[in-house]
């Protein structure tokens, strides 16, 4: 199942792999702004002689064609950074751009996929199929995968595989369990309208601050009292805007939050209940409520056959002890848009190492990765493609 030439090549390319990651980390770009990153990927693919096309506004679709028609497996690596100020500025590869940082590991994903492409290109004459390389923009705003799918990224693809560096797992460990991996992520907005007035004359007003506060306190019971406790669900109010001045009773209030689920029936129930709660609370105070519910990413559900193949590849490539059982996360991933088009799976590669201070949470200003994990990720990309095409 494992190709020794691929393993040896990635070992030989390990220094280059680290250098690629550091270059990308120092020059981060936000979602759909990855112009320089796209150009960097294209230049590297030119050196390898791998044909590609750019997607709009950013992103790259490339393909390594084997010797026969065969199947096509897609490998995805995302490229965008976050609006996060880097705090661990002592590292030599710290972000050069104020207020922007690769605080989620996408710099690692892009560099790992580039080196995997290099190793696969070395054995392309032995590939019994094709490997499509998806260098995806805008994962952080959950729009990049869909944009690539709309531009043909998954046309003719039989299977798709992605990786995320994971600081909450020990370095080198690999987790890819069948079934739910990342949750669906939705956004809700509630606008309450009351009747404003002087703070000294509440009898003449309908206080939108009071209405909104009551909603925030009670909406949590949507999960605790209407959803089966054996089903995972999270409802979080993250933003509340109300009032204009200390002595004016607020006429308007805006609440925004997120809902995370794995099950579609649970998702539907929460959407319905939020609207019911908002309108009931508003009626109780004599106010009105307008509710907007925006469905974002779908849940990432790993195909059983694909996830089992990842585990087999990881065990054979790195030893059986490397396989790790990480619980599903309520975090979101737009990789789900690729899985809508073909079966596949999404693996986590551990990069948490307390000795290197790389156990910070994703999206934190101190986030960093143990660069020893890069080789694990790059080889897992390449060996999975090899194993799938040779099944």
Angstrom CA distances, 107 to 27, 30, 81, 346, stand at 10, 12, 8, 17
Is residue 98 among the annotated active site residues?
A: no
> How far apart are the C-alpha atoms of 43 and 267, rounded to whole Å?
43
Is residue 321 among the annotated active site residues?
A: no
Task: Say which of 80, 207, 359, 379 is annotated catalytic.
Answer: 80
Task: Say which of 27, 78, 139, 186 is annotated catalytic.
Answer: 139
Q: Which positions are annotated as active-site residues?
A: 80, 139
């Amino acid at each position: 199942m494992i190709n020794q030439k691929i393993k040896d090549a990635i070992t030989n390319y390990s220094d280059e792999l680290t250098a690629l990651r550091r270059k990308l980390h120092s020059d981060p770009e936000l979602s759909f702004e990855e112009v320089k990153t796209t150009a960097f990927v294209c230049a590297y693919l030119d050196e390898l002689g791998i044909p590609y096309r750019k997607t709009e506004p950013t992103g790259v679709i490339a393909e390594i064609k084997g010797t026969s028609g065969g199947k096509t497996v897609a490998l995805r690596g995302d490229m965008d950074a976050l609006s996060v100020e880097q705090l661990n500025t002592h590292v030599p590869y710290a972000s050069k751009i104020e207020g922007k940082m690769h605080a989620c590991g996408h710099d690692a994903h892009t560099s790992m996929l580039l080196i995997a492409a290099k190793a696969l290109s070395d054995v392309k004459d032995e590939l019994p199929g094709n490997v499509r390389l998806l260098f995806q923009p805008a994962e952080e705003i959950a729009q990049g995968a869909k944009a690539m799918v709309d531009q043909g990224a998954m046309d003719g693809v039989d299977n798709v595989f992605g990786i995320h560096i994971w600081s909450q797992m020990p370095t080198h460990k690999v987790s890819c369990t069948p079934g739910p991996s990342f949750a669906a992520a939705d956004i809700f907005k509630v606008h309450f309208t009351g009747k404003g007035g002087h703070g000294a004359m509440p009898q003449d007003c309908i206080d939108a601050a009071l209405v909104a506060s009551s909603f925030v306190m009670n909406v949590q019971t949507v999960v605790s009292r209407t959803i089966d406790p054996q089903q995972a669900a999270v409802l979080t109010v993250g933003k509340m805007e109300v009032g204009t001045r200390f002595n004016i009773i607020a006429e308007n209030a805006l609440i925004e939050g997120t809902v995370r689920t794995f099950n579609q029936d649970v998702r539907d129930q929460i959407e319905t209940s939020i609207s019911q709660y908002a309108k009931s609370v508003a009626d109780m105070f004599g106010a009105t409520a307008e509710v907007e519910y925006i469905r974002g990413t779908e849940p990432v559900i790993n195909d059983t056959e694909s996830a089992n193949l990842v585990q087999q590849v990881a065990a054979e490539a790195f030893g059986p002890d490397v396989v790790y059982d990480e619980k599903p996360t309520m975090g979101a991933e737009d990789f789900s848009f690729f899985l809508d088009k073909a079966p596949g799976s999404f693996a986590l590669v551990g990069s948490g190492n307390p000795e290197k201070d790389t156990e910070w949470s994703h999206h934190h200003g101190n986030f960093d990765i143990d660069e020893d994990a890069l080789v694990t990720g790059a080889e897992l990309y390449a060996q999975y493609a090899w194993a799938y095409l040779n099944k």
